[in-house]
Chain A
């Protein structure tokens, strides 16, 4: 199933022009897919928030989700780690296949905790726990049963370095993470997510609560992160999507309107709605 799908995608992607086919939106010519959403619907109660989403997430690339408020981009993002399961009366249908094992992330029989063990998330508001910097980053490791002091310390340092925050906090490891600045907190949260080596890292408007300098640091970090992890980012800021992402998907009213290479979306979108949005005509 997996291999056959990859082959078809590779074949279609081999054609030079980016035709935005209805069923399969192929975006990455060179890279393999890390996850593929197919016919994904989602309901809050009786309110359908996502309608027939088909999207291929390219491995080790950054995919941005853009669109006006209420278009369902955060809702879509939160399907990947089953955050909706925390709320009563929510329903998924369709699939998000995680490759290479071909696990349907939104299937009822798949344990959301297992899903979250493999897919990390960084939130809009920096949300470190009321613990020390060290314990924040070690949190996921401890949940996964790590307890050796040296091994924990090594992994925490590695994660903090990867999140470009090590130099700023290496002498403050035993201070409360809540004492850091907003930008530092957000990078500690990124380190916390990276420490457990997730396969996909979800960013839900990670810089909307930060100042421009902190934002620039996080953006630079995200572009570096793609070497080790597949990134999916929701952003309100189109410049940010243009700066950090390889692929951009435009969503509107719960539907995926268009997805393509970021450069193409921002210079020559195929759909009128996309063009209207990126030129600021609505949203």
Chain B
């Protein structure tokens, strides 16, 4: 190290290695720019957490955490105000559950097909189209749920209300299929060819190879795809706001209308509540719960991914 320094000092005097110093400076500048870009994301996250906690703290000065967690009504904007988050949580979980019931089987089957059965040409045609589906604005999906899916479901379930979680959940499920399928397919294709050949050489069919070797081998990636899907479903806003109704109801029955956390936040944000009112602060408390739920699922996903990670 000291040798380098001496050499450099000596050389700089002669002007021979001045380009080295210039290059080092330039590298340092580029490194700082890259670091700054990375920090933007970190600071944004920290800022969001800070605002959520800060405003929620003000909220919890008025509402005890016990009431927040145990009250079965959520009516912050009524004269007789109740602040029980559970109706919103139940709505969120129900919609998410219905969505996953669609997205996980469908997404996995599509991924298995694309990765193990489809010809190269088929895969290169279908995958971009599938990914295009993920680029459709969610508001379009919302009206699709309200104006197409709900009327259709009403033919099957005659007394289904016009706003219901079933329709919203099904459409969110369809909406996140591309994510689940695309990420799962990437994970399956990352399973090395020699592993598949080992299975075929034992006399396995394509389906046996896919289900017994490729899927287990790609499990960590598939788990990541599912978690991504869950996070998307929990955080989805427009579809539920449009198609699932706006009344917070403590129910796990998908054929009923109910509000989710995100739908409530949209509803209040669109109104004209004064900034220091408790109703306004309640959206931050709700947002904090939403973030914690997503965090829990991501943590589960993280541990699952580590648990099933295979080093080939």
Hey, which bits of chain A sit against chain B, CB under 8 A? 81, 83, 86, 88, 113-114, 116-117, 120-121, 123-125, 127-131, 139-140, 143-144, 176, 178, 189, 192-193, 196
Q: List 23 A-B contacts (CB under 8 A).
A: A83-B200, A83-B201, A86-B200, A88-B119, A113-B203, A116-B200, A117-B203, A120-B201, A123-B198, A127-B195, A129-B195, A129-B213, A129-B216, A129-B217, A131-B216, A140-B203, A143-B202, A144-B203, A176-B310, A178-B311, A178-B312, A192-B202, A196-B203
Q: How many A-B residue pairs have CB under 8 A?
A: 69
Give 1 or 0 for each of B194-207: 1 = CB within 8 Å of chain A CB: 11111111111100
Report the minimum CB–CB distance from A82 to chain B (whole Å): 9
Q: Which residues of B contact A129 (CB under 8 A)?
A: 195, 198-199, 212-213, 216-217
Pick the residue among A88, A114, A124, A140 that contacts B202 (CB under 8 A).
A140
User: Which chain A residue shows the least CB distance to B218?
Assistant: A130
The distance in angstroms between the C-alpha atoms of A139 and B195, with both chains bound, is 13
Which A residues lie within 8 Å of B119 (CB)? 88
A81–B201 contact, CB under 8 A? Answer: yes
| Nearest neighbor of B206 in chain A, beta-carbon distance | A86
The CA-CA distance from A176 to B307 in the complex, in Å, is 12
Asked whether B197 lies within 8 Å of A86 as measured between CB atoms, the reply is yes
- Give every chain A residue within 8 A of B311 (Cβ-Cβ): 178
B310: A residues at CB distance < 8 A: 130, 176, 178
Interface residues of B in 153-193 (CB under 8 A from A): 192
Q: In angstroms, how far is the closest chain B Cβ from the Cβ of A12?
A: 34
Q: Is B208 an interface residue (CB 8 A)?
A: yes
List B contacts of A117 (CB < 8 A).
203
Question: What's the least CB distance linking A49 to chain B, in Å?
Answer: 18
Given A129-B213, A143-B208: A116 in contact with B203 (beta carbons within 8 A): yes
**Which residues on B sit within 8 Å (CB–CB) of A139?**
199, 202, 204, 212
